[in-house]
Amino acid sequence: MAKDEQGLAQFNSKNGLVQVVADNCDTQISSQRGQKSTHSLAMIITQAGQPQSKSVGNEIISERIKNLKWEETKASKLSVVDVNVQRFHDRKQSDMPEGTAKRIVPTIAFLARIQLSNQRAAAEDFEFLKSVTGKDLCPEYDGINMTQVRERGKQPEKKTTVLYIQFLDMTLAEPDAMKTAMVHAQHITTLTGREWTVFTCDQQLYKVVA
């Protein structure tokens, strides 16, 4: 596998958790040559970065996403990492080691915290819908959230650094595809200095290897 020094250089295990997230990617492309479809495995590597604001003297300035000009978008290039296909030579359904899966009863404090979070989220969403239907020039949903953050005296959450990894064009129902994805995830997270690999996927992909 070739190292993607330019892309992975922005990740460092000392700055927080580095994890790889994988999911299905279904794309329909309509062109002059007809309609084509693809069903691949898309992966990204993520890490929580620096806060979205910085202090200049006594003033706090929020960093904003730069708007690229048309000439700059044409000059942008995506980093590509070579992926070696791995073959799975074991049973498709392996036995779960004893003690790995444990069932526990959540504490009352944990359940209460979830209930309060759901009630607050529902109330804030309802207030946003009222603002959209009853006010002129209502800001978008992100703008409403930012206003609430500032009114409560909190700093914006840390932005997440994201690097898109090359599509894996394999049959996702086969263990070969998931083994290839997990081995590649282990490789690129090792390049960031992490000893352990955190690989996140949905239940349908997990079922292929579990």
Of 140, 156, 172, the residue that ends a domain is 156
Read off the pTM.
0.58
| Number of separate domains in the chain | 2
More confident residue, 85 or 126: 126
DSSP 63-111: --PPPPPHHHHHH--------------S-SSPPPPTTTS---PPPHHHH
Range(s) of the domain holding residue 118: 106-156
Is residue 34 within 8 Å of residue 109, measured between CB atoms? no
Do residue 38 and residue 130 come from a single domain?
no
Do residue 83 and residue 36 come from a single domain?
yes
Is residue 165 within 8 Å of residue 45, measured between CB atoms? yes
Do residue 116 and residue 130 come from a single domain?
yes
Of 156, 179, 196, the residue that ends a domain is 156
- What are the helix (H) ranges across the chain? 5-8, 70-75, 108-134, 141-151, 175-191, 203-209
Which tens digits make up the pLDDT trace of 28-79? Answer: 777 777 777 777 888 888 887 654 445 555 555 555 555 667 666 555 444 4
Is residue 210 within 8 Å of residue 96, measured between CB atoms? yes
- Mean pLDDT, the chain, integer: 76
Do residue 84 and residue 184 come from a single domain?
yes
> Minimal CA–CA distance to 194: which of 56, 11, 27?
11
Do residue 187 and residue 143 come from a single domain?
no
Do residue 59 and residue 80 come from a single domain?
yes
Do residue 126 and residue 30 come from a single domain?
no
More confident residue, 34 or 110: 110
d(C-alpha 22, C-alpha 128), whole Å: 32
The structure tokens listed for 169 are: 């064009």
Which tens digits make up the pLDDT trace of 117-169? Answer: 999 889 988 988 888 888 777 778 777 877 777 787 776 667 778 888 878 88
Do residue 67 and residue 169 come from a single domain?
yes
Do residue 87 and residue 120 come from a single domain?
no
pLDDT beyond 70 at 2? no
CA torsion, points 174, 177, 183, 187, in degrees to nearest 10?
A: -170
% of the chain at pLDDT higher than 70:
73
